[in-house]
Amino acid sequence: MGRFLRRLVSKKKRRFVDRADGFDLDLAYITDSLIAMGFPSTRSPDRFYRNDMREVQRFLDSRHPDAYKVYNLCSERDYDHACFHNRVSVFPFDDHNPPPFHLIPLLCADVSDWLSGTSASPPFTAGPLPSSLSSPPSSSSAAPSPSSQPPPRVAAIHCKAGKGRTGLMICCYLLHSGVCPTADAALRFYGDRRTLDGNGVTLLSQRRYVGYYERFLRETAAGAAPERWLGNGGTGSVRARVVGLWVKGCPEAWLKRASPYFVIRTRDGVVWFRSAAELATPSPPADRAQSAESTAPAAPRHPTVLAWQWNAPSSNADTAADSTDDDAAAAAAGGDACLHVPRHSHLGLP
């Protein structure tokens, strides 16, 4: 039953199966040194349909003894790092979201140091960006003699499902290490090796961040200061002003009986913006969700374009974004949803 449930949850993801050793894990080798896997669960019922922590431990300890390090990308769950001999680093961000941009080069540097053997794997602590962070690992260092060469190291990266957040970070490392020359190539490479249908990183926001990291590497290699992307001291603190939100093609639920609105909150829960439609509603969102069926006016019966324009609080308005003519034309014609923000800025929104 457990094997059936795990395969059902895995859907189109590739699994590592070795019947001789009894392995059937939601896990795939992206390269010889990069592993993508689902969350190693320690509690019921999760371990019956996700990776069982005991099986992940057995796999890593038998296949890569003393030569692996685990990277947890989950903001919503963790485990005792002693399960993996304290060789664990945590780069947390929320499910179905891209990370704060500064976490990407930090993780890439950590993985690079671990795989190259220059790191003894200290616990990760977020801080200022090291001066050499944007440089890919050097391949000019002399290899040790065969007699003293340690076993090749591997990095096992996971989120909850081991697909979206994991894929975003692995694709960025493929760019960082020079395995793939472009974001599109990295996304295809990862998709082919992690899934059966090639659909690895599917969320548009996460795919965009792979492209942002390609630009970051290109610009820093050309001499641009990392602070252009990473903010004050490399901590990802970049002030920004949102000037527009376009929604093109309403979700099916909106085409029935609904009155759509937007509320944007910062990561600490502070309301950052309320759309005019929400402000005009007398009941709070929680109450509104319960009574929408009886009170909402009939929505248009066809896809439409909804647009709100607003300014952020003055404390966040150091920079501004200008929508291009192409963006405006695309919005009017209908297409992908687009949030116009200053380039090279991360809002830190959920």
Question: Which residues participate in catalysis according to the annotation?
Answer: 159
Q: Which residues of 274-301 are buried (b: 16+ CB within 10 A; e: fewer)?
A: bbeebeebeeeeeebeeeeeeebeebee
What is residue 310's three-state secondary structure? coil
- With both helix axes pointing from N to C terminus, report the angle between 164-176 and 204-221 in degrees, rounded to the nearest 10: 20
CB 321 within 8 A of CB 310: no
For residues 14 and 7, give the distance between their C-alpha atoms in angstroms, rounded to a whole number: 10
CB 153 within 8 A of CB 69: yes
For residues 317 and 231, give the distance between their C-alpha atoms in angstroms, rounded to a whole number: 14
Listed residue (215, 236, 234, 205) closest to 98, CA to CA = 205
DSSP state of 130: P
